[in-house]
Structure 1
Amino acid sequence: MQPSKSSRRRFIFGGVAALGALVVGWGALPPRQRLHASHPMLLGGASIALNGWVAVAPDGTVSVAMARSEMGQGVHTALPMLVAEEMDVPLSAVRLVQAPADKIYGNIAMLKDGLPFHPDDNGNLKAVVSWTVGKVARELGLVITGGSSSVKDAWQPMREAGAAARAMLVAAAAKQWNARVEDCRTEDGSVIHADCRRLAYGALAIAAATASPGEIRLKSPKDFKLIGRAQPRRDTPSKVNGTAVFGLDVRPEGMVYAAVRMSPVIGGTVASIDKDAVLKMPGVMRVVDFSSALAARTGAGAGVAVVAKTWWQAKQAALALPVQWSTDERAKLSSAAIYAEFAAKLDAESGHAYYKEGDMDAVEGKVAGVAKTLTAEYRAPYLAHAAMEPINCTAQVKDGYVYLWAPTQSPGFAVETAAKVAGVPADKVVLAVTLLGGGFGRRLDVDMVAQVVALAKETRGLPVQMIWAREDDTTHDVYRPAALARFSASLDAAGNVLGYDNKSASGSVSHQFFKRNLGLPPGGPDKTTVEGEFDMQYEFANQRIRHVIVDSPVPLGYWRSVGHSHNAFFKESFIDELAHAAGKDGVAFRRGLLKRHPRHLAVLDAAVARAGVAPAGRAHGVALHQSFGTIVAQVAEVSVEGSEIRVHRVVCAVDCGIAVNPNIIAQQVESAVVFGLSAALFGAVTIKDGKVEQTNFHDYPVVRMNQAPEVETIIMPSAEHPEGMGEPATPPIAPAVANAVFKLTGKRLRSLPLTL
């Protein structure tokens, strides 16, 4: 199945046009290597860099450049495994150093995954565009952690870096022994000759630095010793003993604190401030209006901050600070009005067709054989990220430099923003990326960086740590978009689907994000609005998937699994409705639509088989969804007591290609299920009088420990390239639960969060 050529071309080249001449120029260049950086690794002691990713110290310690942020997803374990595997060194011998600012560490996979191709499309257009965008991404060099892309992107360059380093070490040993390279092998951080002579990597590092690696040969999966085997997380001990450094743990000498006050009305601005009213309060040092610093790069909006000796002093003064806000028409904004606009747009506009197959016009023309037509409307609310570590950032502006400590997913954007606000060149910004106490896409944005640098400019060289209260975090997020989706399907007398139509409306995350962070004008289609709908694998002979972008006054951002997070609920719930209308079991109905998709069928069968039969008083709900390259099937075991929906067990089968670390994959599945379940059962951000109504966990709850289900993970064997794993288990949980509730109650829940 392929999208119609005309719609694909409009979509692709409409998006590419935003990059203009850059794409044309870069597309003509040969692909650049990702092995050698133009900036040296930040090494201490006598370590010798063998390429842009790997260095070896005299004691045999291997330093690996870490270009991705650790926010609980396990990249500080999975990525060094790739290098250790190819170098034949123990994982315990690897230490991580922050990657320097260099384009070889840019995230290519994330940008390529943003292309609007159906997974089944293997045509020339896809190959050419993917190749071109890959080269453009290499030139852009955007260092970003997101899109479940870290392992996928690092799979080739980090393995090549390890293999190249290993080859250089072998060449150095062979030269020292006056032996043939072919007579040498490596094991446990040493080069070993066929006659049993041995040299440790540390003793060879200096000589290896000038050795030629020759042809770089990657290991065959059959020879893997680390990859594919469960390894303990490297970051667990420090998180247990308290030595791990998150953004809130940074303590540079002389640090002061800042608390914020931001417009309670979305899009409001500062009209006036009475600074003198709080300047005599205990510990208060100054009051700063940071609004001008956020001119082009903020989702948070205008506001002010109080700088004080302690955060509590700063917060109390910020609460007491008299601020007048200018809101104009923005104060009339409401969730009800937003949904009404979605409905009106769906009524009035045909939308952009992201995917077409067959002849839907003939089906809608009431061709012979249509026995039943099924329609449904689904909706999903705005969602906050609600990471456990609230928004924070620390900065110092001193002697022409900006020193920045940030729990960020976008170090490149953070550096650019800090430089812009401080008025210094980007090479005068020194960034330390800390651990993130949750990211989920929120920390792709850098509004907090703009705010804190503006404050640090006013503190006469003192470092300042800005912390948002939970209420600030919830009411000034960049939210997962609200959405409205309509479905219509025609069935024949035997229950076969003759036509499938899906049209939805929402704001565009990508339009807002790229305007904020790259200055690109919004325009054209946005894959994230329909991902999970247009790219499904169900084999309907006639289908059409469209979307209408409705410009959002609400700041939008990437939220864990992005459009899949709600589109999977829409699609998988309606698939269950179709199964019921056809008089078929939901699993059997799906199986009948996957005849040309054996991997999807295998994942579905594995989850259903493991789930077994639901105990008395409970029901099993099923959902199947592919996102970020990974196929996931979930079976949720659910009971209903009065108006309470309780999820007891979730069986999750995943096909994510080669499983680099099965331990981390299971952890990510468990995390994603609980994250998605929080949204499915409780999550909703509502707007009234221009204000976000939710403020903290009492009215924006998440799943508690006693509410968390048992999660069983099945990892399907595969020799395919690794795919994403941080997000794919989030989308299927809501429809799986909703489908189980229908079995128990006969009620079809079409709105999130799920309520009876």
Structure 2
Amino acid sequence: MHPIVKPAFAPRPTRRGFLAGTGGLILGLHLAPQARAESSAPTAPTPGAFVPNAFIRVAPDDTVTVLVKHIEIGQGANTGLPLLVAEEMDADWSQMRAEQAPSNPQLYANAAFGIQGTGGSTGLSNSYMTMRRAGAAARAMLVSAAADLWGVPAAEITVSKGVVAHGPTGNEASFGALAEAAAKGPVPEDVALKDPADFTLIGAEGITRLDARSKSTGQAEFTIDVYRDGMQVVAMVHPPKFGATVASVDDSEALAIPGVRAVRQLPSGVAIYADDTFAAFRGRDAVVVEWDESAAETRGTDEIVETFTAAARTASLVAEEAGDADAALAGAERVIEAEYVFPYLAHAAMEPLDGVIEWDGSAAEIWSGMQIPTTSHATLAGVMGLGQEAVTINTMYTGGSFGRRATPDNHFAAELANVAMAGGPGAYKLLWTRENDMQGGYYRPLTVHRLRAGLDGAGNITGWVNQLANQSIMRGSPFEAMMQGGLDPTSYEGANDLPYELPNRRLAWAEMRSPVPVLWWRAVGHTHTAYAVETFLDEVLETGGRDPVQGRLDMMRADRPRDRAVLERVAEMAGWSGPGTGDRRYGVAMARSFGSYVAQVAEVEDRDGAPHVTRVWCAVDCGLAVTPDVVRAQMEGGIGYGLSSILGEAVTLEPGGRVAQVNFDGYTPLRLPEMPRIEVSILPSAEPPSGVGEPGLPPIGPAVANAWRALSGQAVRRLPMRPA
């Protein structure tokens, strides 16, 4: 009888120890390109294809390390993807580890993008079958190795909590003990996956996040923590107006500051190189820059809003149309109109943009939280005149992003490369300040909606028109190819394909232009479309004498049962009996985004003439909830982030074009005492997993606004809700 080998789960290995380690099983799962579509069954490799979608390492110490192709920005990628592997391997959760995958689109492409990148709440959904197949293949290889070692049929071997066993002989072995033998076997081309009824980890409550301890204790390393020998810190002075460029630089006073090494003009502004952060910031404040503002945005917010509003009133690029909306409005018993203005919004992540670059003139290594490594990698190599093989990117933990680090133009990567080129071989940390971040653009687009609805004598909606105006995020980016007929779907997503029966409807869009750079912001277009649609609908239902919940249910399309289910569930959770009549009122809203369905009810009271949200009920259908704790956390985070934006956040341009907000004194995010009590219900589902990072956000704004209108009689149509 072979000796029994019990697992001994060791501490997490370091990144370099992992990459340089020898021994054990390193698994590259070979899947055909078609497998990226996430079919429900394994796909055999195409002859000659070599497209690894995931790597797994089983070390001699029994740890199982999963290289995660999606950046961990707080959404739980470093837990969700290893969990899928652990489920199919029948590993013990305590032996699982996560590492960020290196920049390599051939190995780690996002199935939704075709390149390596994270966004659109696609991380877990596009990895679901891939990572399960990877885990199942690793398990099969370990079982095969054990069968050969013990001379028994593989079918008689079981695996449970990281132990491979053969009951009839009593043989047992840990993963690590079998790793070397397993590594010599072929990677199976076709593996059977578990029946969901047999899941023990997927869908389980109480799964501890793999990064929870290190982040709680300060051991987790973020870009801001990275220091290299001889490293200089670089601070930036950017143009005070969008579209302005450097005309002249006087660096005499800056260079006189102890610790300041150099001042260099870059395409994006002026860089100050120093021995430490304090000296770099002092140098930044001392340098004198004259700007050429001939191509700059010089309009203030009020002027921009006026221009956008005029465009929304005449928007003619039709995104969706059915029936004859104009005739329906003309023949309506009553027509209701409303215009909504949504401001530019900053992402305001806790960790501003930062990066470290070290190069010797022929090769470069970068440490940064780059959300789309493929395009960043190409930009770094291009700016520095290097082959991509000479550029190494270490993807770091990131203190938030909300879309900010997913820039199609890779402006930060280009700036980091230019810092290195202007400074010469060496190590540099480029560290944006909060002021750089707040005034640096790449905001959620300023948007204006104009809605009209017609009612018949019985209060039924006979016509619906939504016209909106904003800047396109995709225009001028590598994603512009996704625009069809001149339409940018991210500009109006959520205003189309509504769950309600509206036989006569039209959605039209006007594309606006401005030097102010815009970018996707958590939940992208749904952040304003859900607010406009769901608050306007609430007013229309009230005008027609309908209850907000029952009115929506009465209008629900027959082919949208999942929308109906979350609305019915949240109404049940909140004990809905209408908006209420006391000092606290209730508002409801719902939205489908990123494949998930969310409905919310908000309880609101008046505090000093402004809304204060005391409680939120949230029902979500996100398909199979792989990690319910993470789903709840993401719903709570989305609610907090969305609530923050609608209550007090706005980026405004002063007359002349300068951004008024510089830090959190003028851009006021939600404070902890303002966070409501939240109750989340996850609807059971056998559908594939869908997004959770963003869908919790869209309904909270309109739910609060609807409750506030019931309480105060005020319909808030220009955000934020609180006066400045």
Instruction: With the length of structure 1 as denominator, give the TM-score of the two structures.
Output: 0.86
Same amino acid, percent of matched pairs: 39
Structure 1 residue 281 and structure 2 residue 257: aligned? yes
* Residue aligning to 1:496: 460
1:103 equivalent among 103, 106, 111: 106
Amino acid paired to 1:665: V
Post-superposition offset of 1:595: 4.9
* Residue aligning to 1:707: 674
Say whether the 8 Å CA contact 2:97–2:210 is kept in structure 1.
Answer: no
* Of 524-533 and 546-555, the range deviating more from structure 2: 546-555
* Residue aligning to 1:295: none
Post-superposition offset of 1:194: 4.1
Say whether the 8 Å CA contact 2:231–2:426 is kept in structure 1.
Answer: yes
Say whether the 8 Å CA contact 1:42–1:97 is kept in structure 2.
Answer: no
Equivalences for residues 311-460 of structure 1 within 5 A: 311-328=277-294, 330=296, 332-351=298-317, 353-364=318-329, 366=331, 370-445=332-407, 446-460=410-424
Post-superposition offset of 1:340: 2.2
Structure 1 residue 648 and structure 2 residue 614: aligned? yes
Post-superposition offset of 1:333: 1.9
Post-superposition offset of 1:364: 4.2
Structure 1 residue 600 and structure 2 residue 594: aligned? no
Amino acid paired to 2:445: P
Q: Relative to 1, partners in 2 of residues 1:521 and 1:221: Cα closer, same or farther, differing over 3 Å?
A: closer
Say whether the 8 Å CA contact 2:254–2:282 is kept in structure 1.
Answer: no
* 5+ residue gaps, structure 1: 1-40, 112-136, 292-301
Say whether the 8 Å CA contact 2:241–2:298 is kept in structure 1.
Answer: no
Say whether the 8 Å CA contact 1:148–1:726 is kept in structure 2.
Answer: yes
Distance 1:520 1:432 in 2: 29
Distance 1:576 1:521 in 2: 32
* Residue aligning to 1:19: none
Say whether the 8 Å CA contact 1:255–1:462 is kept in structure 2.
Answer: yes
Post-superposition offset of 1:365: 5.1
* Residue aligning to 1:215: 190
* Residue aligning to 1:50: 27
Post-superposition offset of 1:200: 2.3
Amino acid paired to 1:609: E
Distance 1:611 1:487 in 2: 29
Distance 1:395 1:522 in 2: 38
Equivalences for residues 567-582 of structure 1 within 5 A: 567-582=529-544
Distance 2:488 2:272 in 1: 39
Distance 2:307 2:210 in 1: 49
* Residue aligning to 2:44: none
Say whether the 8 Å CA contact 2:333–2:457 is kept in structure 1.
Answer: yes
* Residue aligning to 1:730: 697
Distance 2:225 2:484 in 1: 37
Distance 1:706 1:365 in 2: 49
Amino acid paired to 1:238: S
Per-residue CA shift, 1:118-160, capped at 9, x if unaligned?
xxxxxxxxxxxxxxxxxxx3xxxx1111111111011011111
**Structure with the largest fraction of helix:** 1
Per-residue CA shift, 1:220-262, capped at 9, x if unaligned?
1111000101211221211121111111100122211011101
Distance 2:702 2:611 in 1: 13
Structure 1 residue 686 and structure 2 residue 652: aligned? yes
Runs of 4+ with deviation above 4 angstroms: 518-523
Per-residue CA shift, 1:276-309, capped at 9, x if unaligned?
3321211010111111xxxxxxxxxx31110001
Say whether the 8 Å CA contact 1:397–1:457 is kept in structure 2.
Answer: no
Amino acid paired to 1:234: L
Post-superposition offset of 1:452: 2.2
Report how many residues are paired.
670
Q: Relative to 1, partners in 2 of residues 1:748 and 1:656: Cα closer, same or farther, differing over 3 Å?
A: same
Amino acid paired to 1:753: P
Distance 1:615 1:208 in 2: 68
Say whether the 8 Å CA contact 1:42–1:99 is kept in structure 2.
Answer: no
1:143 equivalent among 82, 94, 116: 116
* Residue aligning to 1:29: none
Per-residue CA shift, 1:146-198, capped at 9, x if unaligned?
11111101101111111111112222222333332222221122322241322
Amino acid paired to 2:98: L
1:473 equivalent among 431, 437, 445: 437
Distance 2:329 2:272 in 1: 61
* Residue aligning to 2:173: 199
Amino acid paired to 1:322: V
Distance 2:56 2:321 in 1: 47
Q: Partner of 2:487: helix, strand, or coil? A: coil
Q: CA RMSD in A?
A: 2.0
Say whether the 8 Å CA contact 1:171–1:211 is kept in structure 2.
Answer: no
Distance 1:535 1:379 in 2: 22
Q: Partner of 1:457: helix, strand, or coil? A: helix
Q: Partner of 2:450: helix, strand, or coil? A: strand
Say whether the 8 Å CA contact 1:603–1:633 is kept in structure 2.
Answer: yes
Distance 1:349 1:636 in 2: 33
Distance 2:190 2:483 in 1: 44
Q: Relative to 1, partners in 2 of residues 1:507 and 1:310: Cα closer, same or farther, differing over 3 Å?
A: same
Q: Partner of 1:287: helix, strand, or coil? A: strand
* Residue aligning to 1:188: 161
1:532 equivalent among 494, 501, 513: 494
Say whether the 8 Å CA contact 2:313–2:450 is kept in structure 1.
Answer: no
Post-superposition offset of 1:523: 7.7
Distance 1:59 1:576 in 2: 59
* Residue aligning to 2:49: none
Distance 2:600 2:503 in 1: 26
Q: Relative to 1, partners in 2 of residues 1:621 and 1:447: Cα closer, same or farther, differing over 3 Å?
A: same
Q: Relative to 1, partners in 2 of residues 1:537 and 1:520: Cα closer, same or farther, differing over 3 Å?
A: closer
Distance 2:161 2:314 in 1: 66
2:218 equivalent among 242, 264, 278: 242
Instruction: With the length of structure 2 as denominator, give the TM-score of the two structures.
Output: 0.89
Post-superposition offset of 1:535: 2.6
Amino acid paired to 2:188: P
Per-residue CA shift, 1:31-90, capped at 9, x if unaligned?
xxxxxxxxxx94523232122421212222212111111111111111100000000101
1:68 equivalent among 64, 67, 70: 70
* Residue aligning to 1:80: 82
* Residue aligning to 1:549: 511
Per-residue CA shift, 1:720-744, capped at 9, x if unaligned?
1000000111111111111001101
Distance 1:519 1:405 in 2: 30
Say whether the 8 Å CA contact 2:71–2:100 is kept in structure 1.
Answer: no
Distance 1:591 1:520 in 2: 34
Q: Partner of 1:609: helix, strand, or coil? A: helix
Q: Partner of 2:714: helix, strand, or coil? A: coil
Distance 1:323 1:399 in 2: 30
Distance 2:210 2:538 in 1: 42
Post-superposition offset of 1:315: 0.8
Distance 2:485 2:272 in 1: 38
* Residue aligning to 2:200: 225
Say whether the 8 Å CA contact 1:42–1:98 is kept in structure 2.
Answer: no
* Of 382-391 and 520-529, the range deviating more from structure 2: 520-529
Post-superposition offset of 1:399: 4.4
Say whether the 8 Å CA contact 2:244–2:295 is kept in structure 1.
Answer: no
* Of 167-176 and 729-738, the range deviating more from structure 2: 167-176
Amino acid paired to 2:296: R
Distance 1:280 1:687 in 2: 34
* 5+ residue gaps, structure 2: 1-17, 29-53
* Residue aligning to 1:617: 583
* Residue aligning to 1:666: 632
Amino acid paired to 2:667: Y
Distance 1:273 1:661 in 2: 53
* Residue aligning to 1:164: 137
Structure 1 residue 303 and structure 2 residue 238: aligned? no
Distance 2:232 2:628 in 1: 43
Amino acid paired to 1:423: G
Say whether the 8 Å CA contact 2:474–2:483 is kept in structure 1.
Answer: no
Q: Relative to 1, partners in 2 of residues 1:661 and 1:465: Cα closer, same or farther, differing over 3 Å?
A: same
Post-superposition offset of 1:329: 5.0
Q: Relative to 1, partners in 2 of residues 1:212 and 1:681: Cα closer, same or farther, differing over 3 Å?
A: closer
